[in-house]
Amino acid sequence: MGQGGLLGLACWLLLPLLLLLGGGSGGPGSRGPPPPPPPPRGGREEEQGPVAEGGPWGRTGYEAVKKHLGAAGALSKQYWQYLACRVWQEGCGEEEEEEEESGPSPGWSLPVVGQDYLEILSAWYCSFGKCCKTGDCRIVNNITGLEADLNGQLHGQHLAKEVVIRAVQRFLQNPRPEKALVLSFHGWSGTGKNFVARMVASHLYRDGLKSECVRVFISLFHFPHHKYVDSYKAQLKKQISETVQLCKQSLFIFDEAEKLHFSLLDAIKPFMAHYDNEGQVDYRRSIFLFLSNLGGNTINEVALDFWRAGRAREEISMEFLEQRLRLELQEPEENGYARSHLLEENLIDFFVPFLPLEYHHVKLCARDAFLARGLPYTEAALDEVARMMVFVPTEEKLFSAQGCKSVSQRINYFLP
């Protein structure tokens, strides 16, 4: 809704003000990187006082403003630094030294409104591709970090790890993807679907799940009543197109996707499809993640068969699982996937299976939970946490029925 126009306007209004406020405290030139484009009305020279005669204010008015600005000087310095940090990611840790030379400072408490303007300003500035490797500082695309963290913290999911990293990496490296990337995560609860979605968000976006480029939809929370499905449809389409307008590389996460009404899935199909009409908004750089427990039983059967045959779970291959997963997803139960046209139109690029977790995986989750809180742990405590979970099937007691779900709450029992 005119977001772009509003942004531009806000910046033109802001720039002169910002530069005026920043007078004497090291303008853009002193930072090395190219200065922002010149404001419409001269702003930089103001520190030398050219406004004195015939300027917007009379002499006395100017003095009063100058005095006022002097007081705000220390603060404006911080504004400038904040902006430089946001835009060029430099000078981010320099507040303290600066504080000393500028005497008593008003403290590191930018008024909230000011921060918002700076966000807008830096986003606008970045839209010219003048900063940050990705051309947009909200987007970090740290694949190495994603890979390292998945390797260290996602347990027992060799397939999910491999598929997600490969798919995301290839997609981000492609200068002109033909369609949005659509991944469908499948598996029992607690196996790491949410965890991986969160990891993707936090390594692709500076602000992770809180980023304005990321939208999370939870079926029963956002779309609880089937009778309102038409208004949900309109809302969802509007939110997706607004997010993509705001942010070229957007991420949409649909949790509890098995409970999504099929007509909602069909409504968002156009955003995921191959399409060649060069409209104003390009959806082909977006990523869609669907998280569901559909197919969980098939995945578990395969894992159990492998175990019974004495084979390592790492031997389970994508080729082996994918066909069976597709078949189960097409079963016309009360499952939105089967009734929507997502599958038959091949809009899903990758199926990502999450295997059921075994006892030693749950122990690793418990260890991570202790480490995350900076608490010491013993092998015995890890065993005790793992023993609190229910293991199935009844005879083998092989897989944790809740995966690693609520493991981090369970360690509370072991705190001193």
Ligand X SMILES: *[C@@H]1O[C@H](CO)[C@@H](O)[C@H](O)[C@H]1NC(C)=O
Which residues here bind ligand X, judged by CB under 6 A? 140, 142, 144-145, 148-149
Spatial distance between the Cα atoms of 243 and 1, rounded to a whole number of angstroms: 11
**Closest distance to ligand X from the beta carbon of 191 (Å):** 22
Spatial distance between the Cα atoms of 73 and 22, rounded to a whole number of angstroms: 7
**Closest distance to ligand X from the beta carbon of 203 (Å):** 6
User: What DSSP string describes 107-142?
Assistant: -S---HHHHHHHHHHHHHHHTTT-SSTTSSTTB---
Spatial distance between the Cα atoms of 17 and 39, rounded to a whole number of angstroms: 9
**Closest distance to ligand X from the beta carbon of 140 (Å):** 5
Token pair for residue 341? 């046209």
**Closest distance to ligand X from the beta carbon of 353 (Å):** 25
Name which of 142 and 241 has its Cβ closer to ligand X: 142
Name which of 144 and 330 has its Cβ closer to ligand X: 144
Name which of 206 and 284 has its Cβ closer to ligand X: 206
**Closest distance to ligand X from the beta carbon of 18 (Å):** 27
- SS3 helix, strand, coil % of the chain, rounded to 5? 55, 10, 40
Name which of 127 and 153 has its Cβ closer to ligand X: 153
**Closest distance to ligand X from the beta carbon of 361 (Å):** 22
Name which of 146 and 299 has its Cβ closer to ligand X: 146
Name which of 192 and 353 has its Cβ closer to ligand X: 192
| 25 Ramachandran zone, left/alpha/beta (phi>0; psi -120 to 50) | alpha
> Whose CB is nearest to ligand X?
145
Report the relative pairing of strands 391-392 and 399-400 from DSSP bridges.
Answer: antiparallel
Contact 293, 402 (CB under 8 A): no
Look up tokens 């001193």; give the residue: 416
Look up tokens 């977001």; give the residue: 3
- Torsion sign over Cα 325, 326, 327, 329: positive
